[in-house]
Amino acid sequence: MEQVLKVQNLGMSFGGLRALDAVDLDVGSNEIVALIGPNGAGKTTFFNCITGIYTPTEGDVLISVKGKDKPKRINGLKPNKVTEEGLARTFQNIRLFPGMTVLENVMIGRHCRMRSGVVGAVLRGKSTIREERAAVEYSYGILEKIGLDPFVNEFAKNLPYGAQRRLEIARAMATEPFLLLLDEPAAGMNPNETKELDELIKRIRDEEGISILLIEHDMKLVMSLSDRIFVVDYGRKIAEGTPEEIRNNPAVINAYLGDEADA
């Protein structure tokens, strides 16, 4: 299987604190990969390193760009450049633009795929109008797919919680990513919403051909969704494998439930 993301030997230190240590991870095309681990294990730090919010102190983040043989190294790039390369993320604590409408939120995702500048905006020439209309249509299309089209003109802050989570996914999808990074997408959702999310993520993978890397605590969701699972604890990778393998892995059970000797 072709790999779209390959992370090698990733390390991140904050002063003396070693948040990540030699983590390897890879995501294949059309694959759903989960990253799990106890609280404070370094999962979100890992996301931040990949998406450019932090610059990792060691290691490589490589993406394979379509049409090119050589993978591209993206660590150290600014977050907006990483997004332009085709990695889009959502946040653990929802970070929408509350004072903008749902459609505008998604249109922000289109920003890096649009070109018009200040002069174009003021003169509002043909190409600007065309680009703007295309962005509106594209964004609306995504909202329809995600099932948020009834809310199109609502303020993002007025949406119900589950819808806000889905809007974050919609916004990320508008950037035309090849890999979607979801940071605890099911946090705070009720079982029904979680089930819908499960279907939505699978649909994104199947219909859009977007690979997915997600952090999640809801084990039922993780087991049902993932093709492969990576487990981290104290900044180190302690296991990787299929859901079945992870379920029976003693190191993982220890990390979550504690060593029997400790008990």
By CB under 8 A, name the one of 45, 75, 128, 226 that touches another protein.
Answer: 128
Rule CB under 8 A: say whether 187 interacts with another protein: no
Rounded distance between C-alpha atoms, residue 48 and residue 104, angstroms: 25
Selected range binding another protein among 24-32, 113-121, 190-198, 221-229, rule: CB under 8 A: 113-121
If binding means CB under 8 A, how many residues of this protein chain bind another protein?
49
By CB under 8 A, name the one of 76, 98, 147, 258 that touches another protein.
Answer: 98
Selected range binding another protein among 16-24, 87-95, 239-247, 254-262, rule: CB under 8 A: 87-95
CA atoms within a 13 Å half-sphere pointing along the CA-CB vector of 83: 19
Q: Where are the alpha helices (DSSP H) in 86-230?
A: 102-110, 118-123, 126-146, 161-173, 191-203, 219-225
Interacting positions 14-33 with another protein (CB under 8 A): none
Residues forming a β-bridge with 3: 28
Rule CB under 8 A: say whether 234 interacts with another protein: no
Least gap, CB of 83 to another protein (angstroms): 4
Rule CB under 8 A: say whether 208 interacts with another protein: no
Six-digit token pair at 83?
């997004």
Please give the order of strands across the beta sheet that includes 72-73: 17-28, 3-14, 58-63, 72-73
Taking each helix axis as running N to C, give the angle between helix 161-173 and helix 102-110, from 0 to 180 degrees, rounded to the nearest 10.
Answer: 20
Contact 109, 174 (CB under 8 A): yes
Binding site for another protein (CB under 8 A): 51, 53, 78-80, 83-84, 88-89, 91, 95-101, 103-104, 107-109, 111-114, 116-118, 120-122, 124, 128, 131-133, 135-137, 140-141, 149, 152-153, 155, 171-172, 175
